[in-house]
Chain A
Amino acid sequence: EVQLVESGGGLVQPGGSLKLSCAASGFTFSGSAMHWVRRASGKGLEWVGRIRTKPNNYATVYAASVTGRFTISRDDSKNMAYLQIDSLKAEDSAIYYCTRPGLHNAFDVWGQGTTVTVSS
């Protein structure tokens, strides 16, 4: 079964940092780009960024709203993707999902999400 499982969310003070993890199984992880998408309470889905595969130099790209504060990485030996979030702001509070571009480049598999709350 193809599966993605996020973890690492929690309550963090403004200005703090957090590293989210995404564990993949059931597919060839090393051959797939990985994306992160978030949904803040009362708002819609927002694409955060993506990391490509080793043949594509693990290239990353980020939404303008998070560039410079968010870093996506991966460990193909562990089938894991990560989202490092620094200088957290209240507006970063959201459920964070990892997903992959599967057949026909659609996000066909999603994790259950991990919740990040930024508050003092």
Chain B
Amino acid sequence: QSVLTQPPSASGAPGQGVTISCSGSSSNIGSNYVYWYQQLPGMAPKLLIYRNNQRPSGIPDRFSGSKSGTSASLAINGLRPEDEADYYCAAWDDSLSGSVVFGGGTKLTVL
């Protein structure tokens, strides 16, 4: 059972948008930044969003993040077939100094 809660699956047609939620607690999301990672099949995870809503260089603006209280969300607009992947939220957790907690992951299917 993961500390952060995500829906196990999400789907959308090409061109459409989808939102993935992530729920935590006061010791993680409530008091720290949220990060999002994308893991394509057979690949290592890749940083998608940092500090709740910031995109690293090279990440298209179709991807956006937000946070409110102890919850966060990742929105993907203009879905493309190559977006089909597993998406994870993460946050540092104050209950164990220096630790990180992940969500269980959401498998995105582009129909």
* Residues 5-29 of B contacting A (Cβ, < 8 Å): none
Smallest CB gap from B99: residue in A: A61
Within 8 A of A (CB), among B29-71: 33, 35, 37, 39, 44-47, 50-51, 54, 56
Cα A64 to Cα B44 in complex, Å, equals 24
- Decide yes or no whether A107 CB sits under 8 A from chain B: yes
Select which of A33, A99, A103 is within 8 A of B50 by beta carbon: A103
| Count, chain A residues at interface, CB 8 A | 27
Total interface residues on B, CB under 8 Å, equals 27
- List A residues 82-107 near B (Cβ within 8 Å): 97, 99, 103-107
State the total of A-B contacts with C-beta under 8 angstroms.
70
9-residue interface stretch from A10-18, A19-27, A109-117: A109-117
**Please, which residues of chain B bring their CB within 8 A of the CB of A59?**
98
Using known A-B contacts A104-B33, A104-B54, A112-B44, determine if residue A44 contacts B99 with beta carbons closer than 8 Å: no
Q: How far is the CA of A57 from the CA of B46 in the complex (A)?
A: 29
Cα A113 to Cα B44 in complex, Å, equals 7
10 A-B residue pairs with Cβ-Cβ distance under 8 Å, sorted by A, are: A35-B100, A37-B45, A37-B102, A44-B86, A47-B100, A47-B102, A50-B99, A106-B47, A107-B90, A110-B45
Given known contacts A50-B100, A61-B99, what 7 new A-B pairs fall within 8 Å (CB)? A35-B100, A45-B90, A61-B96, A61-B98, A63-B99, A104-B54, A111-B44
